[in-house]
Structure 1
Amino acid sequence: MNVIRAAIAQWESAADHISGSKPDGQLGAIIEVMLGTSARIGEVLAIRRRDIDITSAIPSIRLAGTIISRNGEQTFRQDHPKTAKSRRVVALPTFTADAVRRRLANAGSMGLDELLFQSRDGTPLATANVRRQLRHVLGGAGIEGVTPHMFRRTVAIAVNANANIELAAELLGHTDTKITVQHYIQRSELVNPATAALLDRAFAKDED
């Protein structure tokens, strides 16, 4: 993951960009928010200033909408996420809180209903454009096959490995852990080594 972070940081800090405007740091911040919340890309791009609590002892973000991009239609913010369970308040790890603070500082004065991530014209970012930009930046660094959804899966695996599947499902906004297991958690072939100690106790050989 740090290789991806480094590639994006290098691209964002490069002094010369042959085409287009100089990067504004949003791509790196978007990745940090995805890693710190497990949110879908559409949910991240739908975060408003009012959804962010960065001053409390435990900073948090409320995920309460998603970005809709349909062919031939203007991209817009939908006032609810994919499912009712997907509306949630997520405590932020330090790296995400720091990225959000930097983004807010760079954005300057921001109304409560303004999007945390937006185009230079103040309009919502299309999810397809963010995917395309991520692919372009990482491709330039020789990194292929990375998608926004990969970050969501990576978070689910980390939470499951260090806590349990129930917590991973709650963080992802799933109503059923079966969804989490089927689509996000790869079954490990390694059986819990505690079985060895258990069987030693059950079937230990008598000492001669």
Structure 2
Amino acid sequence: MTHDVCPDLLPGAPDVRAEAASWLGGLAGERRLSPATVEAYGRDLRQFLAHLGRSGTAADIPTLVGLKPRDLRGYMAARRAEGLSGRSLMRALAALRSFARHLDREGHGTVAALSAVRSPKVERRLPRPLPVRAAIAMTSPDLRAGEERPDWVLARDAAVLALLYGCGLRIGEALAIRRRDAPTGDTDSLTVLGKGRKTRGVPVIAPVRAAVEEYLRLCPYRLVEDGPLFVGARGGPLSPRVIQFAVAAMRGALGLPETATPHALRHSFATHLLARQGELRAIQELLGHASLATTQVYTKVDAARLLHAFDAAHPRAQRV
């Protein structure tokens, strides 16, 4: 538990703080949510309790159960006035609903007001994939050949990015691969531990295997079979920030916008597959999406690209 969301620091009454501790512990343990998500949910609850406490009285459980829809709408209006985005408001409401379900399960009663408040509408941002050539260039150490970095570091970063673009992995999934599971030699598939600790199998193409093999050939450290495949400069687990910084450095060389992040390579994997007639359900399974609706956003990306090409090239689309 981070200090920022420590239940003892919550502004609510003792009974609320005790249940908050149990709730946050369950999110981290039983539901295995990421530390960042648990921290964000705890912060959302703290801010809500602080809002309720402005009347001078610390909110207790009966206060929460007795909330009216106008109380929640007032809180959301106040947060929006502070500049909170619709997406952040939606997450804050999700956190409060999660805590309310916990209170209900523990026999404290139902916070009925939450079911009467609609989540704010959020315009879904389309993923921004990279051009094919740029995505391929990022997965090669040649792009960074002029940097004063060891060859093994350049090979390592290229291998990680090859897994993101060649297999559609999230950066956390790539960095969680154990040495014993390294896709090398005749290995043509990889088992990945994704969100919600769900596993899925992904095919591994030859260029990805070659990138991983080159990294292993150059890596100066003896990698433990049950340890991480990718290590940092001192031999410890590799931080995602290192890969993020590497991609940021490559953006300038390739003339790419700030949306060109490691995660954009995963978007590129899906979009480029779809453009080559990839089957949507298969792409869903490769990405590890629980819902097909999440994957369908890539069809909008492809359609948007086609419309842009039409506007740029079709004689009837030219503005007079």
TM-score scaled to structure 1, two decimals? Answer: 0.69
Please state if 1:100 is matched with 2:212. yes
Please state if 1:51 is matched with 2:181. yes
Q: Give CA deviations for 1:17-40 in whole Å, capped at 9, x if unaligned.
A: 3xxx43522221111111111000
The structure richer in helix per residue is 2
The structure richer in strand per residue is 1
Contact 1:38 1:171 in 2 (8 A): yes
Q: Give CA deviations for 1:127-176 in whole Å, capped at 9, x if unaligned.
A: 22321221023224433331111111111122333221100100000121
The Cα of 1:88 is off from its aligned counterpart by 1.6
The letter of the residue matching 1:39 is: L
TM-score scaled to structure 2, two decimals? Answer: 0.47
Q: Which residue of 2 aligns with 1:35?
A: 165
| Residues 101-140 of structure 1 mapped to structure 2, 5 A cutoff | 101-107=213-219, 109-140=222-253
Work out which structure has the larger RCO, using CA pairs closer than 8 Å and 6 or more positions apart in sequence.
Answer: 1
Residue 158 to residue 6, structure 1, CA distance change in 2 (3 Å): closer
* Cα distance in 1 for residues equivalent to 2:205 and 2:272: 13
Q: Give CA deviations for 1:3-54 in whole Å, capped at 9, x if unaligned.
A: 454466344322x63xxx4352222111111111100011111111122242
Please state if 1:144 is matched with 2:257. yes
**Stretches of 4+ aligned residues off by more than 6 angstroms:** none
Which stretch of the first structure deviates more once superposed, 43-52 or 104-113?
Answer: 104-113
The Cα of 1:84 is off from its aligned counterpart by 3.7
Q: Give CA deviations for 1:95-140 in whole Å, capped at 9, x if unaligned.
A: 1111111112122643212222110222222222321221023224
* Cα distance in 2 for residues equivalent to 1:141 and 1:153: 18
Q: Which runs of 5+ in 2 are unaligned?
A: 1-131, 307-320
Which stretch of the first structure deviates more once superposed, 170-179 or 121-130?
Answer: 121-130
Residue 53 to residue 11, structure 1, CA distance change in 2 (3 Å): closer
RMSD over aligned Cα, in angstroms?
2.6
Q: Could you tell me the percent identity over the aligned residues? A: 26
Q: Which residue of 1 aligns with 2:189?
A: 60
Q: Which residue of 1 aligns with 2:287?
A: 172
Larger Rg: 2
Please state if 1:186 is matched with 2:300. yes
Q: Which residue of 2 aligns with 1:76?
A: none
Please state if 1:12 is matched with 2:125. no
Contact 1:160 1:167 in 2 (8 A): no
